[in-house]
Structures are given as structure tokens and as C-alpha cells.
Amino acid sequence: MNAVKIRAGQKNDLPRILELIKELAEYERAPQEVTITIQQMEQDGFGKHPVYDFFVAELNGEIVGMSLFYWRYSTWKGKRLYLEDIIVTEAWRGKGIGRKLFDRTMQHALEQNCTGMMWQVLDWNEPAIRFYKKNYNARLDNGWINCHLEREEIEQLLKPSGSLKSK
């Protein structure tokens, strides 16, 4: 998967991002819940006060995945990166693209001086749960599963050369 390029998202990526969001909603059995529009995404992500950012995974010029995140502030911990969604289109799952996106998102959390990173995963989404446990040893709570890595854990995972150690 060396041909996969992870890059910052751009406004002209939003139509494909919305397609990926709808694909995820289908997988999570809630397609009717997607009400966001490209116009709203443009305003929220590229307007005067952006509230989210994202990375895309590109393969041969096609966006095959994305990681969308925003900042969260904890009164106990300070600035946190909240990973709203990491999506890899079905045809490309299981090929290391999700891991590349996740690693880049962790690196961004460090670059932005976050104290850690948080996300959720549905308790029935076993492939995702295995991914987070196997690759990151993330802590998972019951119910809606809240996941997080502390800054020190991210630093440890990314040592020594800025990439994860082989498992």
C-alpha cells in the first residue's frame, strides 16, 4: 500500500467525503441519519471559523478513505483531538489504509499539542474494535465505546522514527 498517499483534505474533496459518510451510515444501519450537505460542510470546514479538519487517503488519484476530526477541550486534560470518523471504502478495507489514516491523525494530535485523542466505535462493530485493540492497545469502554490514547501513549507508539513499531 505504498501507493496510498495521505494528505490534508481540501474543499474540492467534499463531494467524495460525503459519499464516504453515506457509505459509513449504510454500514452502521442508519442511512437516514445523514442530513449534512456539501454546502454546510464547506461552511463548517472552510468558512471563517472552521470547526473540523480532515485527511484523505488517495490511491491512484482516487479518494478511498478519510479521517475527520475536531478539537475537544477537557476540563481535566486540556486540548484533545476528537476523531469523529475514520472511513475506508469497503473495497479497500483490510489493506492498511485505515492504519495509515489513523497514524497520520495521531501525528497531527501531537503536532497540535493535544494531550490525547478520543473517538467512539459502535459496540457491535467487531472489525473496528479488533483494529483499535490489536494495533493501538486502545482502552474501550462499554456501550457506545469511547476510545482514547494519551499523548504519552501516542508518542510511545510512534517511536523511534515517527512511525509505529512492528507488532
Instruction: Calculate mean pLDDT across residues 135-146.
Output: 80
What pLDDT was estimated at residue 148?
Answer: 86
Instruction: Return all residues near 7 (Cβ < 8 A) that are at least 6 apart.
Output: 55, 56, 58
CA–CA distance, 29 with 27 (Å, rounded to integer): 5
**Contact, 129 vs 88, CB < 8 A?**
no
**Contact, 115 vs 77, CB < 8 A?**
yes
Average confidence score pLDDT of the chain: 92
For residue 72, what are the β-bridge partners? 80
Residue positions annotated with a catalytic role = 132
Q: Are strands 53-59 and 139-140 parallel, antiparallel or unpaired?
A: unpaired
CA–CA distance, 68 with 88 (Å, rounded to integer): 12
Burial of residue 22 (CB within 10 Å: 0-12, 13-18, 19+) is: middle
For 69-78, write each residue's pLDDT tens digit: 999 999 999 9
What pLDDT was estimated at residue 123?
Answer: 86
pTM: 0.85
Q: What pLDDT band is residue 115 in, cutting at 50, 70 and 90?
A: very high
Q: For Cα atoms 136, 140, 118, give the angle at the middle one, nearest 5 degrees.
A: 70
Domains and CATH numbers, the chain: 5-158 (3.40.630.30)
Burial of residue 124 (CB within 10 Å: 0-12, 13-18, 19+) is: exposed
